């Protein structure tokens, strides 16, 4: 299983992740990314058919702000 979460403290609103994985990431009014699946809580499993998109987004983020874990991602981890 994979879970993902944006570190919104380090996201610089570059806009890459939502282009790579539009079904996983979207942006708030300031352009800061969040995970659509669970409102950026890191608790909803990423569907397997989106793993390739997720990988593209992670490798394309210039600030390494996209966290991925095999377990639900708690707030305090990022
Ligand atoms: Fe932010 Fe990285 Fe996405 S900087 S907008 S999390 S690609």
Give distance in angstroms: CA of 7 to centre of ligand 1. Answer: 9
For residue 18, give the ligand 1 atom closest to its CA: 3
Report which protein residue has its CA nearest ligand 1's atom 1. Answer: 11
Q: Is 46 in the pocket of ligand 1 (CB under 6 A)?
A: no
pLDDT, residue 76, reads: 61
Q: Contacts for 18-23 with beta carbons within 8 Å, 24 or more apart?
A: 20/53, 20/56, 20/57, 20/60, 21/50, 21/53, 21/54, 21/56, 21/57, 22/53, 23/50, 23/53
Q: What was the ipTM of the complex prediction?
A: 0.98
The pTM assigned to this predicted structure is 0.93
For residue 31, give the ligand 1 atom closest to its CA: 5
In the chain (78 residues long), the average pLDDT of successive 10-residue segments reads 97 98 98 97 97 98 97 75
């Amino acid at each position: 299983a994979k879970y993902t979460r944006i570190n919104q403290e380090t996201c610089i609103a570059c806009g890459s992740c939502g282009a790579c994985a539009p079904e996983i990431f979207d942006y708030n009014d300031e352009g800061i990314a969040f995970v659509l699946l669970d409102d950026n809580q890191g608790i909803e499993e990423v569907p397997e058919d989106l793993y390739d998109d997720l990988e593209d987004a992670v490798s394309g983020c210039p600030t390494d702000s996209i966290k991925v874990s095999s377990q639900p991602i708690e707030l305090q981890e990022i």
